[in-house]
Structures are given as structure tokens and as C-alpha cells.
């Protein structure tokens, strides 16, 4: 398979999409697939995981580090950069087997052609490190000024987040570097009296909490040159000058290190040491060990599909994105809805993680799965506070969770395109299903890994507090005999504040059942003392038995919420034609979809997918067929749920386009970039996770029951065979799914810190 995606011409309109599509990341940081010369208007970013800042009343969002890759050339006194100067040729590519971005751009100057070629990567083996190689070639004796350094004027949506930016030149690297050059017999860097062989550094101090972000970089050149240092208010740059020999390539290698005040054990000394070691090693060696680490990842993550190269590429590209944002460096960190591609959705964690991404990590790297769920367990206090704030009991998790479980979701989460005014939305107040996703994740983690320690380390308490939350939501009519949950938003966000959403109610039942089951198995006396176990079991069993779940009607259709069936049955095209503005929000009080049956994303279908064994196959199919034409798929989370349910209905051909839609979420053009006037572009890790689940659990039919891996495959046409690895209960299996059956072979124990 070809592991490269490429762009062969420059298109200014595509800058933002390419930034997402060609992202390199290592879980600690994500480098957008942008060019070295880009300024904040072109949205370059080195997006950092788990560190946030808020300025004034703007949204709290994750930080982008000072741009350590910032580099451009001036030839014969004229600047050659994109998008300003039209290129003769331009090529960009991402090697997604190894997370390496590269570009090659040629410009025609008055005296000849000059070409820049570069590549960079976010080191996989050392997540604080970035490496870049930059090369200049000309077919004439060009007078080149190469500027390279750190740009602190970073792209922000609600910034600027650095109140102060201080930069400095440091000599920390020079001695080691000289020794290294001598050892390797490489030519010494030459330069003028003011040449800098050390490193340069920039420190940003954040507005809200005074957190610091340190970015350091060092550069080596393989040719005689002059160097000067120039520091501006928000940038610190080297100016490297040389005259080219015809056809010779002039290389610089840059290594950068980034750390923040939140990173335990990190300080400037350590950063200097890492820069020095990296310089000694040299770019090629860094690249080699980075690639080796990626190969280790692929050895357990790659999915081979015999018979469908396009699907295999899209699927593994999705897996690449999941691997690029996995917090392998942390033990209680989760993944934002837009990964590490920027500040969209406030860099917050949504239900996307548990319901869409978790399975990939469970099956390939259970330590990461544990970290994702431990993040929820460790942010329980935030959820308890949120519930209390709204007058409920237990744990109501943040719809958009940042550190400590802080809910970053604003009461006004969409901006009206007509008035420019913020619109009141109820995502934060009413998407109760988020707490159920947390419970689902904890239970699924425990079921697949068999690891009980998460429950012991707070997971049990989390499940019980979520059950308490749903219990406090229950309402019963004086003469009624079932419990209702009113005034909610289900997964379909276009219909706000509805009663008895089928998905929410069934998930609440799942939470009650899970809590009761865990309490019944409770052996720990400590937990027994903390809770009135018998009373809670009785309460949750009663709630599970009596919560209202809408039943299929005479046509087999399950009503999404009370009164849904009475809404206008306008077609998707009809509803779309009512838009007055292309960026208009479809939901909310006046949205075009609100009074119709058109829904944003899979809702009943998501519920049926999770609880398919409780329904007749005919009911699953009827609901799929009823809801699909009424679904806008306005969220990238939607398609995979339709794909998976189609597999469960034995309709792999119907599933296939939805699967491809998920797998290609970050490859195709045309995805939504706006909700009202709010930018929502970025990568789509939930869709990537959904594509993985569809391939493995849908087409491959893989399920885990009582620690045993089973398969009931339904391969789509053209797929002769699938090969992949999964782990379950500390054992890794090689799986081969063919048309004649499935072979599951034990490969050995999983090396895991947690298990
Ligand atoms: O979590 C989703 C939600 O379901 C739909 N809007 C976008 C969110 C983040 O992906």
C-alpha cells in the first residue's frame, strides 16, 4: 500500500484543510500540516495537549506553542514565501506510515530558479522534541538569506494567550556540538564573529494562570555561512547568509524542544540536554529512531484489507490520526474532539472519546485506553460540582471537558449569522448523555481488559455517582408507573429540550444496571462503608426496571423523543433549501431543522447499535431505513453508527459508503467548517475511531464476551480478507477474517504498564 498522501499544486483556499490533513503529532503536541513560512493568518500551529488559557470573556482554549519551525528565504533581496509569491511548482506530502511531513516549492526569480525542500516530524520516541530539515537549491549563484527561528505571534481563536513573550539566545549547545562534529568528522560550521552556535529560546507566559511554555531550538548548517541574530517583539530569528553554487543543496537541520510548567520534571537544563543530545545524534539518527517507534505502533495497529486498496489506505490513515494524538506520555489524559489540530471546540474532550475512539485503543494499546478513562475518574470532582450547580445529585460530566473536568461549553455556543449575536444553546445544560458515555467507557475498559484496578482507583465511585445523577433526573407522573427524563438534548443536537430521548433513556438504564451490578459484586469493605449498598442496589434496579423506553410503533419505528412523529416530515433537500445563509445553524430555537423530522446525526440508530441484541433484526433494519434519509449527517460522528448498524443487519453493501465516509473524514473536501459563525474545522478523530470500529467490529464482526474474542464477519463485496491484531485480557491475537471464516491466533502477552 502507498502510505503517502500528497498535493501537487498550491491552492490558497486549501491551506486550512491541508493543515488538518497533513498533521503530524505524538500525543503531546500536534504540528499542523502548514508551511514553515506561514504566519498566523495561514493557521500554523504546534498545538499542545492538556494546557489551556482564557483571555477575558473569550472561550478557554488549548495553547499553541511558539512556532519553532518558522523559516523563510530571501533571494537577491526578495522574499520567496507562500501564499505571497506564486510558485513555479509546489508539492506537499505526508508519509503517514512515519508521520513525516514534507514540501518542495520552486520559484522563478529574475536570475533563475530557487527551490526549497523541507521535512519535519513530531518525534515519536521523545514527545517534547521536533526535528526539521530545510534545504535550498538554486540553478544560479543566488544570494540567499535564510531566516529561521521562533515565531511567537501564534494563531489563536480567542487569544492572544501569552501576556509576555521573552526570548533569548543561549550558548548551552555549542560545546557539545563542536565535540560532536569532530567525532563525526563532519565539517565545522563556519561563521562571522557574531555567529550563534547555541540555541534560541522563547518563553510565553499565559494570561489566566501564568503558566509558562518554553520553546527552544538549535540549528546546524552543513556549509560555510554567516549568521546574525535578530529579535523582534514576538519573534527571534537567525539570519544565515550564503551564495549558492549552481545545483548544490544547502541543508540546515533544526531540533526543537517544547515543555510547559505543567510538565513534571521539566526545566531549561533538561531541555538543553535534550537539544545537545539531539545535535550529537543528528537529523538522520533522530529520524531513524522516530520511524522505528512508528513501526512498533503499526506492528499492532495496521489493518490489512485484501481486495480494496482504497479502503485500506483510508482506514490506516484514520488509524494514523488516532496514533498521532494518543497520550502515550500520560496516565490520565484524554483526547479532544478535534485531536491536536488546533483550538476548535476549545480543545475539549467530548463523548467522542468513549463512544467512538476508545475501542481502537482497547484493542491496540490498553494503556492509552486506561489513560483516557482515568482522566474521567480523576475529573469526577468537576462532574459532582456541575451536577450540584444545576441542582442534581451525583456526577454530571462536562459536555466539553478541560482539565479538572471544567466545562468549557458556553451557554451561547453558536453565533447567529444574521445578527452576529451569540445564540443561547443548551448543549452544556441538557446533554445528559455525557455521564452515561463515561460509565460506558469504564465498563467497556473493564470488560475488554479484565483490569479491575480502574474500578478500584475511583472507577466504581464514578459509576455510582453517575447513577445517582440519572436517578436525580427521573420524574414520575402521580398516576404513572414509569420514570421519564425530560428536557434533554440527545445526540441529535438539532432538537433541543425534548422529553424521553430514546438514546438518553436507554443509556441511563445502562448506567443503573452497571451500578447495581458493580455494587452487587462489591467485595471492598471500604467502598461498602462509603455507600448504603443494599439501598442503592434496590434504587438502581428499580430505576432500570421502570425507566420509560419508547417501543417500536406499528411500523417498527422507535420514536426519537416524545412528539417526534408529529413533526413536519420535510425532506433533507427541502429543509436545506430553506436556509437563508450557507453557514446558518440548523438547530436551536429557529433553526430550519428544529420543527421537522430532519436530524443532525445518528440518534436512535446509535442506541440500536449499542443494544442491538435487545431487538429483532427486522426492527433494526426498519429504523435504519426510516432514519437514514432523515439524517443530515451534519456531524462526522454520524456515518459510522449507520455503517455499524447496517453490518448488524447483514447489509455490508449499505454499510460500505458510510464506512468510507468516516474513514475519509479528513481526506475528503467539503466537511463542515462552520456552525453559525463559529469555526469548527480540524481533524475528526471520532470519525477515525468509528471507521476502525466499523472495520473490526462491523465487517470483521469482532466482539468480546466474557474475555473471549468472537467473530461474525460480514465482509463487503470485493474484500477477500482482512488481517489485524487485537488485544483482550492481556493477550494479543492475530486475526484473519476471510470469506470462508475467521482465524484467531493467540500471539502472546501484551506488554502493558497497567495490566
Ligand atoms: O460530540 C460531538 C457532537 O455529538 C456533535 N457536535 C460535535 C461534537 C464534537 O465532535
Q: Which pLDDT value is given to residue 139?
A: 98
Identify the burial level of 340 via C-beta atoms within 10 angstroms of its C-beta, where 0-12 means exposed, 13-18 middle and 19 or more buried: buried
Q: Is the CB of 337 under 6 A from ligand 1?
A: yes
Find, among 382, 423, 424, the residue nearest to 400 by Cα: 382
Distance in Å, CA 494 to ligand 1 centroid: 12
Q: Are 342 and 64 in contact (CB under 8 A)?
A: yes
The C-alpha angle with vertex 688 and arms to 334 and 155, in degrees rounded to 5, equals 65
| Helix 380-389 × helix 460-473 angle, to 10° | 10
Distance in Å, CA 427 to ligand 1 centroid: 10
Phi, psi of 611 (to 5 degrees): -120, 35
Active site (catalytic) residues: 493
Q: Is the CB of 350 under 6 A from ligand 1?
A: yes
Find, among 416, 413, 354, the residue nearest to 689 by Cα: 354
Q: Which pLDDT value is given to residue 670?
A: 75
* Single pTM value for the model: 0.95
Q: Percentage of residues in the chain with pLDDT exceeding 70?
A: 95
User: Phi-psi region for residue 11, left (φ > 0), alpha (ψ -120 to 50) or beta?
Assistant: beta
Q: Is the CB of 686 under 6 A from ligand 1?
A: yes
Q: Cα 112 to the chain's mean position, in Å?
A: 43
Q: Which pLDDT value is given to residue 54?
A: 98
Contacts of 642 (CB under 8 A, 6+ apart): 602, 605, 624, 628, 631, 655, 658
Q: Is the CB of 326 under 6 A from ligand 1?
A: no
Q: Which pLDDT value is given to residue 173?
A: 46
- pLDDT below 70 — which residues of the chain? 172-197, 523-529, 751-755
Round to whole Å and give the CA distance between 254 and 146: 13
For residue 589, give Cα distances in angstroms to 178, 593, 594, 668, 746. Answer: 67, 10, 7, 31, 54
* Buried b or exposed e, range 420-453, using 16+ CB within 10 angstroms: eebbebbbbbbbbbbbbbbbbbbbbbbebbbbee
Tell which atom from ligand 1 comes closest to the C-alpha of 352: 1
Q: Cα 408 to the chain's mean position, in Å?
A: 17
The string of pLDDT tens digits covering residues 449-502 is 999 999 999 999 999 999 999 999 999 999 999 999 999 999 999 999 999 999
Tell which atom from ligand 1 comes closest to the C-alpha of 351: 1
Q: Which pLDDT value is given to residue 593?
A: 98
Q: Is the CB of 352 under 6 A from ligand 1?
A: yes
Distance in Å, CA 173 to ligand 1 centroid: 45
Quote the radius of gyration of the chain (alpha carbons, Å): 27
Distance in Å, CA 350 to ligand 1 centroid: 7
Distance in Å, CA 149 to ligand 1 centroid: 37
Round to whole Å and give the CA distance between 323 and 343: 19
Q: Which pLDDT value is given to residue 528?
A: 54
Q: Which pLDDT value is given to residue 672?
A: 77
To test ligand 1's pocket by mutation, which of 686, 687, 688, 689 has the most ligand atoms within 8 angstroms of CB? 686
Round to whole Å and give the CA distance between 57 and 648: 47
Q: Are strands 212-221 and 113-122 parallel, antiparallel or unpaired?
A: unpaired
Q: Is the CB of 339 under 6 A from ligand 1?
A: no
Task: Please name the residue whose Cα sits nearest to atom 4 of ligand 1.
Answer: 491
Q: Which pLDDT value is given to residue 194?
A: 29
Largest distance between two CA atoms of the chain: 91
To test ligand 1's pocket by mutation, which of 335, 337, 493, 640 has the most ligand atoms within 8 angstroms of CB? 337
Q: Are 458 and 377 in contact (CB under 8 A)?
A: yes
Task: Please name the residue whose Cα sits nearest to atom 7 of ligand 1.
Answer: 635
Amino acid at each position: 500500500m502507498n502510505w503517502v498522501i500528497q498535493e501537487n499544486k498550491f491552492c490558497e483556499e486549501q491551506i486550512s484543510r491541508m493543515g488538518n490533513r497533513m498533521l503530524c503529532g505524538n500525543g503531546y503536541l500536534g504540528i499542523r500540516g502548514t508551511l514553515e513560512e506561514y504566519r498566523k493568518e495561514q493557521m500554523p500551529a504546534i498545538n499542545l495537549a492538556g494546557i489551556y488559557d482564557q483571555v477575558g470573556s473569550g472561550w478557554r482554549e488549548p495553547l499553541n506553542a511558539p512556532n519553532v519551525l518558522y523559516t523563510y528565504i530571501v533571494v537577491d533581496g526578495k522574499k520567496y514565501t507562500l501564499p505571497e509569491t506564486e510558485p513555479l511548482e509546489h508539492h506537499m506530502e505526508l508519509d503517514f506510515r512515519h508521520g513525516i511531513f514534507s514540501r518542495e516549492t520552486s520559484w522563478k526569480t529574475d536570475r533563475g530558479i530557487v527551490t526549497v525542500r523541507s521535512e519535519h516530524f513530531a518525534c515519536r520516541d521523545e514527545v517534547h522534541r521536533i526535528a526539521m530539515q530545510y534545504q535550498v537549491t538554486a540553478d544560479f549563484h543566488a544570494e540567499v538569506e535564510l531566516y529561521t527561528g521562533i515565531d511567537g505571534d501564534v494563531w489563536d481563536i480567542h487569544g492572544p494567550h501569552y501576556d509576555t513573550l521573552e526570548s533569548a539566545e543561549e550558548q548551552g549547545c555549542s560545546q557539545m556540538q563542536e565535540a560532536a562534529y569532530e567525532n563525526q568528522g563532519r565539517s565545522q560550521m563556519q561563521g562571522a564573529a557574531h555567529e550563534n552556535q547555541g540555541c534560541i529560546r522563547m518563553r510565553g507566559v499565559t494570561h489566566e494562570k501564568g503558566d509558562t511554555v518554553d520553546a527552544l531550538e538549535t540549528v546546524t548548517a552543513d556549509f560555510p555561512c554567516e549568521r546574525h541574530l535578530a529579535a523582534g517583539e514576538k519573534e527571534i530569528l537567525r539570519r544565515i547568509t550564503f551564495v549558492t553554487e549552481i545545483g548544490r543543496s544547502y541543508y540546515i537541520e533544526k531540533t526543537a524542544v517544547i515543555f510547559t510548567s505543567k510538565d513534571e520534571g521539566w526545566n531549561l537544563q533538561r531541555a538543553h540536554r535534550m537539544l545537545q543530545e539531539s545535535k550529537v545524534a543528528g537529523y538522520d539518527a533522530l529520524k531513524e529512531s522516530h520511524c522505528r517507534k512508528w513501526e512498533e505502533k503499526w506492528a499492532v495497529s495496521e489493518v490489512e484489507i485484501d481486495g480494496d486498496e482504497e479502503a485500506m489506505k483510508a482506514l490506516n490513515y484514520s488509524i494514523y490520526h488516532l496514533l498521532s494524538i494518543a497520550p502515550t506520555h500520560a496516565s490520565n489524559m484524554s483526547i479532544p474532539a478535534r485531536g491536536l489540530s488546533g483550538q476548535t471546540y476549545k480543545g475539549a474532550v467530548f463523548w467522542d472519546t468513549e463512544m467512538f475512539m476508545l475501542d481502537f485503543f482497547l484493542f491496540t494499546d490498553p494503556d492509552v485506553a486506561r489513560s483516557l478513562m482515568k482522566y474521567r475518574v480523576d475529573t469526577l470532582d468537576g462532574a459532582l460540582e456541575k451536577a450540584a450547580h444545576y441542582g442534581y445529585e451525583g456526577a454530571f460530566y462536562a459536555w466539553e471537558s478541560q482539565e479538572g473536568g471544567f466545562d468549557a461549553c458556553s451557554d451561547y455556543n453558536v453565533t447567529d449569522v444574521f445578527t452576529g449575536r451569540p445564540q443561547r444553546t443548551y448543549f452544556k445544560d441538557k446533554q445528559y448523555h455525557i455521564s452515561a458515555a463515561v460509565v460506558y467507557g469504564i465498563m467497556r475498559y473493564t470488560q475488554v481488559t479484565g483490569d479491575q484496578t480502574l474500578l478500584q482507583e475511583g472507577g466504581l465511585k464514578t459509576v455510582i455517582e453517575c447513577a445517582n445523577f440519572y436517578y436525580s433526573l427521573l420524574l414520575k407522573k402521580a398516576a404513572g408507573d414509569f420514570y421519564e427524563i425530560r428536557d434533554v438534548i440527545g445526540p441529535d443536537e438539532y432538537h433541543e429540550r425534548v422529553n424521553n430521548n430514546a438514546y438518553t433513556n436507554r443509556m441511563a438504564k445502562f448506567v443503573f444496571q452497571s451500578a447495581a451490578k458493580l455494587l452487587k459484586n462489591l467485595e471492598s469493605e471500604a467502598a461498602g462503608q462509603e455507600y448504603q449498598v443494599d439501598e442503592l442496589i434496590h434504587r438502581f434496579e428499580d430505576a432500570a426496571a421502570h425507566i420509560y423506553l419508547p417501543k417500536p410503533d406499528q411500523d417498527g419505528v422507535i420514536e426519537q423523543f416524545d412528539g417526534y412523529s408529529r413533526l413536519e416530515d420535510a425532506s433533507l433537500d427541502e429543509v436545506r433549501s430553506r436556509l437563508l445563509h450557507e453557514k446558518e445553524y440548523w438547530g436551536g430555537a429557529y433553526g430550519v431543522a428544529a420543527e421537522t423530522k430532519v436530524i443532525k446525526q445518528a440518534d436512535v440508530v446509535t442506541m440500536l447499535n449499542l443494544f442491538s441484541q435487545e431487538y429483532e433484526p427486522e426492527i433494526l433494519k426498519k429504523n435504519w431505513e426510516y432514519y437514514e434519509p432523515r439524517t443530515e449527517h451534519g456531524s462526522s460522528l454520524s456515518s459510522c453508527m449507520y455503517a455499524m448498524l447496517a453490518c448488524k443487519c447483514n447489509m455490508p453493501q449499505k454499510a460500505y459508503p458510510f464506512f468510507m465516509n468516516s474513514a475519509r473524514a479528513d481526506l475528503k473536501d467539503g466537511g463542515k467548517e462552520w456552525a453559525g459563525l463559529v469555526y469548527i474545522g480540524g481533524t475528526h478523530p471520532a470519525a477515525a475511531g468509528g471507521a476502525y470500529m466499523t472495520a473490526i467490529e462491523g465487517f470483521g464482526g469482532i466482539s468480546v464476551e466474557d474475555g473471549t474474542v468472537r467473530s461474525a464477519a460480514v465482509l463487503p463485496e470485493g474484500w477477500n480478507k482482512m488481517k489485524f491484531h487485537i488485544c483482550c485480557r492481556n493477550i494479543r491475537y492475530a486475526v484473519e477474517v476471510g470469506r470462508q471464516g475467521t482465524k484467531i491466533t493467540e500471539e502472546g502477552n501484551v506488554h502493558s504498564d497497567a495490566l
